[in-house]
Structure 1
Amino acid sequence: MKQLVAYITAGFPDKNFSLDLVSTLKEAGVDKLELGIPFSDPVADGPIIERANLCSLQNGFKMETLFEISATVAPQIETYWMGYFNPFYHKGVDFFAQKATDLGVKGFIIPDLPHEEALPYRSLMNKHVLSMVSFVAPTDSKERIAQLVKDAKGFIYLVAYAGITGSHASEDLTQTIQTIKSHSQTPLFVGFGVNEKTAKERVRGADGVIVGSAFVEVLLNEHLSASEKIATIGQKAKMIKEKINA
């Protein structure tokens, strides 16, 4: 069965909301969770997730909020921390590795940490049995892809197009997927621009999809109550899970 990975901004609009939302996502069929760490300059993300990041920081997000949410949800659903390298560097990757181990988090997704700069942390990740998720773009050469996915753990994040999250660009991923599959047996998930309309096309040849902006956009809808937001996102997740497995 094809898998659905859901991204949410941790603690937005607050901790209890995040906990209720994760519970609903799991019931809707979400297989893995990306807990986004709010950051002031999320360079790989589009305006939707960027706005959610800023709102969360303005609401007083603290790293302890991430840990408190993770303590509850990680035992229930496979959880990864998605964030930019600055917070990891500031507190220390070893600090986050130990925290993740203690809480049952499976690994990190750090889009602005290049492959070569992530390599020095491989032994630390292995020591804690954690994954540092590998990113592949359709612009990467076959030789580059072979390097990127070698020893990949957790899952491989295939960026659907060169750009930022939440846009509706599209590229033919067939050759890229074939190249990845020839070098790795690690599950391959396609992210960027995945929603109810694009999910079935994007999942072709892959093991699943990653959905972020389509969910976070609902969180930013000020016309919906908290319960309506959670219900709407749950419905979207269920629909996407059905479409990728139809």
Structure 2
Amino acid sequence: MKKLVGYITTSFPDNNFTIDLSLAMGEAGVDTLELGIPFSDPVADGPVIEKANLLSLQHGFKMKDLFEISKVIAPKIDTLWMGYMNSFYHQGMENIVQKAKSLGVNGAIIPDLPYEEALAFTDIFAKNNQALISFVAPTDSKQRIQTVVKEAQKFIYLVAYAGITGSGKSEDLSEVISNTRAFSNTPIYIGFGVDEKSAKAKAVGVDGVIVGSAFVKHLLDESLNHNEKIKRITQLAKEIKEKINE
């Protein structure tokens, strides 16, 4: 069965809501939860996630909120921290990776950490049994893919197109998928622009999908109360999970 990874913005609108939503998403079929660490300049993210990031920061998000939420949810749903290098750097990479392990979190997704720079932290992640997710893009050469995925853990994050999340572009990924499989047996999950309309097509040839903006847009819908937001997002998760496994 193909897997569903769901991204949400931590502490938006508050910690208790994030906990309730996370657990509900797990019950709805989300296999792995990306807890997004709010950041003022989320360069890989589109306007939907960027807005949620800024609102969470305006509401007073601190890293302790991430830790408090993770302590509750990580034992119940496979959890990764998704954030930008600045957030990890200020905590100290060894400290934050050890903290993740202690809370039951299983790894990190850091989109602005290039492969060459990530090598400096490989041992820290390995000794704490944490996965540092590898990225592959359509613009990567076969040689580059071989280098990047040779020690990939948990899953390989295939970026669906060059650009930012949520823009819904489409590219022929058959070659990059073939090249990735030639050098790694690690599952390939596709992200960027995946929603209920595109999920089935994007899931072809890969092992899972990563959905962010399609969920977060419901977090931003001020016409919905908390329970309605959770209902909308969990219904969407169920729909996408069904579609990718048809």
Is 1:155 the counterpart of 2:125? The answer is: no
SS at match of 1:119: helix
1:136 positional shift: 0.6
- Whole-angstrom CA distance in 1 between matches of 2:126 and 2:23: 30
Segments of structure 1 that go 5 or more residues without pairing to the other structure are: none
One-letter amino acid matched to 1:54: L
One-letter amino acid matched to 2:189: F
Is 1:9 the counterpart of 2:35? The answer is: no
SS at match of 2:139: coil
The corresponding residue for 2:31 is: 31
8 Å CA contact 2:52–2:216 kept in 1: the answer is: yes
RMSD of aligned Cα (Å): 0.6
SS at match of 1:243: helix
Is 1:182 the counterpart of 2:189? The answer is: no
Cα deviations across residues 143-202 of structure 1 (Å, max 9, x unaligned)? 000011011012110000000000010001111111111111111100000000000011
One-letter amino acid matched to 1:102: S
8 Å CA contact 2:23–2:77 kept in 1: the answer is: no
The corresponding residue for 2:102 is: 102
Cα deviations across residues 87-132 of structure 1 (Å, max 9, x unaligned)? 1111110011110110011111000000000001111111111111
One-letter amino acid matched to 2:213: S
The corresponding residue for 1:60 is: 60
Q: State the TM-score, normalizing by the size of structure 1.
A: 0.99
Matches within 5 A, 1:58-207: 58-207=58-207
SS at match of 2:80: strand
Cα deviations across residues 58-100 of structure 1 (Å, max 9, x unaligned)? 0000101100110111111111000000011111100111101
SS at match of 1:194: coil
SS at match of 1:7: strand
One-letter amino acid matched to 1:169: K
- Whole-angstrom CA distance in 2 between matches of 1:111 and 1:40: 15
One-letter amino acid matched to 1:95: N
One-letter amino acid matched to 1:141: S
- Whole-angstrom CA distance in 1 between matches of 2:182 and 2:37: 33
- Whole-angstrom CA distance in 1 between matches of 2:128 and 2:18: 26
The corresponding residue for 1:238 is: 238
- Whole-angstrom CA distance in 1 between matches of 2:89 and 2:160: 28
- Whole-angstrom CA distance in 2 between matches of 1:216 and 1:72: 21
After TM superposition, the runs of 4+ consecutive aligned structure 1 residues lying more than 2 A away are none
One-letter amino acid matched to 1:65: D
The corresponding residue for 2:40 is: 40
1:229 positional shift: 0.6
- Whole-angstrom CA distance in 1 between matches of 2:102 and 2:68: 12
Cα deviations across residues 35-59 of structure 1 (Å, max 9, x unaligned)? 0000000000000000000000000
Segments of structure 2 that go 5 or more residues without pairing to the other structure are: none
SS at match of 2:75: coil
